[in-house]
Amino acid sequence: MNTPLAGVIGWPINHSKSPNIHKYWLKKHGISGDYHTLSIKPEDFIKELKSLPSMGYVGANVTIPHKEAALANAREVTTRARAIGAANTLVFLPCGGYRADNTDGEGFINNIKQNAPDWDALAGQALVIGAGGAARAILYSLLAEGTPEILLANRTKSRAETLASEFGNRITVIDWADISSATIETKIIVNTTSLGMSGYDELKIDLRCSSQTLVTDIVYVPLQTNLLKEAANKGCVTVSGLGMLLHQAVPGFESWFGIRPIVDESLIRKILKR
Ligand code: ATR
């Protein structure tokens, strides 16, 4: 059998951490596959994607700006990718075409399960900040886990309202100005915006949470955002965003290379070094 190949397709794609993640697991499990970075322009995406299986590719990750096009052109689409409205993991099918999945929500939940095992989705209300692509995956996964109520705040309120109308009546849209007061009764607070990332503005909220509250961020540069630092100072449980990136890669690797890998300390150290 030929060496199975996978890769991440984006435009631009220079700074992706995915090759390091998958190469780490390939080496760890002694699999003679490889994982490449594929820089493909939007106008060439579908044509180039079609040519990959004949070159030995068994699948691919897709990132900005291809996530919606990857969904729209798929032969098969998973329920979660359809609900989230974007694909990040493709598996080429023996009969031609590909199955499109979205593993971001699974990555989000499994990061929390690994790092805050006491968190219980059923225990109470969530507060989600932001209404972009990442928020869609996180809302989907929190609802799938059974979260009874989600407060959703976004700078542009209409985007939050659109998400609430799509994802159903367990979501309540609140004003951006009310985020701080919404932290009081909340069991999990999630920043899905780019605020707090190096070079961006900070997310300024007055956290009124306790040791019963989990605070997590999708931003992982810096690893400990100001939001997480402040949450830790107030005694909240915190989970950083790097694990979401690592865990979202697990299902793709398993589909392509046949082994379900784990996110271990040595992978985390390797990715942090880069
Ligand atoms: P992604 O797909 O990564 O989630 P996105 O769709 O661009 O990216 O969404 C980015 C999120 O960060 C949005 O919720 C955005 O708020 P708007 O919908 O109002 O644009 C939020 N965001 C980005 N910059 C922000 C800022 N300076 N203040 C508040 N929210 C911000």
**Ligand 1 proximity of 138 Cβ (cutoff 6 Å):** no
Q: CA 175, CA 237: separation in Å to the nearest integer?
A: 25
CA dihedral 18→15→61→104, nearest 10 degrees, is: 80
pLDDT at 1: 60
Q: CA 188, CA 237: separation in Å to the nearest integer?
A: 9
Q: In terms of pTM, does the model score above 0.75? A: yes
**Ligand 1 proximity of 29 Cβ (cutoff 6 Å):** no
Average pLDDT of the residues of the chain = 96
Buried b (16+ CB within 10 A) or exposed e, 57-94: bbbbbbbeebbebbbebbeebbebbebbbbbbbbbbee
Asked if residues 250 and 261 have their Cβ atoms less than 8 Å apart, the reply is yes
pLDDT digits (tens, 9 = 90+) for 105-132: 999 999 999 999 999 999 999 999 999 9
pLDDT at 14: 80
pLDDT digits (tens, 9 = 90+) for 199-256: 999 999 999 988 899 999 999 999 999 999 999 999 999 999 999 999 999 999 999 9
pLDDT at 209: 86
pLDDT digits (tens, 9 = 90+) for 144-198: 999 999 999 999 999 999 999 999 999 999 999 999 999 999 999 999 999 999 9
What number is the average pLDDT over the span 14-31? 95
> Distance between alpha carbon 89 and the CA centroid of its chain, in Å?
11
Is residue 274 predicted with pLDDT exceeding 80?
no
Cα 181 to middle of ligand 1, angstroms: 21
**Ligand 1 proximity of 132 Cβ (cutoff 6 Å):** yes
Query: Quick one: CA dihedral 222, 227, 231, 237, positive or negative?
Result: negative
**Ligand 1 proximity of 260 Cβ (cutoff 6 Å):** no
What number is the average pLDDT over the span 20-31? 98
Q: CA 89, CA 211: separation in Å to the nearest integer?
A: 36
* Residue with CA nearest ligand 1 atom 29: 155
Cα 159 to middle of ligand 1, angstroms: 10
pLDDT at 244: 98
The residue annotated as part of the active site, out of 47, 50, 67, 204, is 67
Looking at ligand 1, which atom is closest to the CA of residue 176? 29
Is residue 26 predicted with pLDDT exceeding 70?
yes
pLDDT at 177: 97
Q: Where are the alpha helices (DSSP H) in 55-195?
A: 67-72, 79-84, 104-115, 133-145, 157-167, 179-182
**Ligand 1 proximity of 154 Cβ (cutoff 6 Å):** yes
Respond yes or no: is residue 27 known to be catalytic: no
Q: CA 63, CA 9: separation in Å to the nearest integer?
A: 6
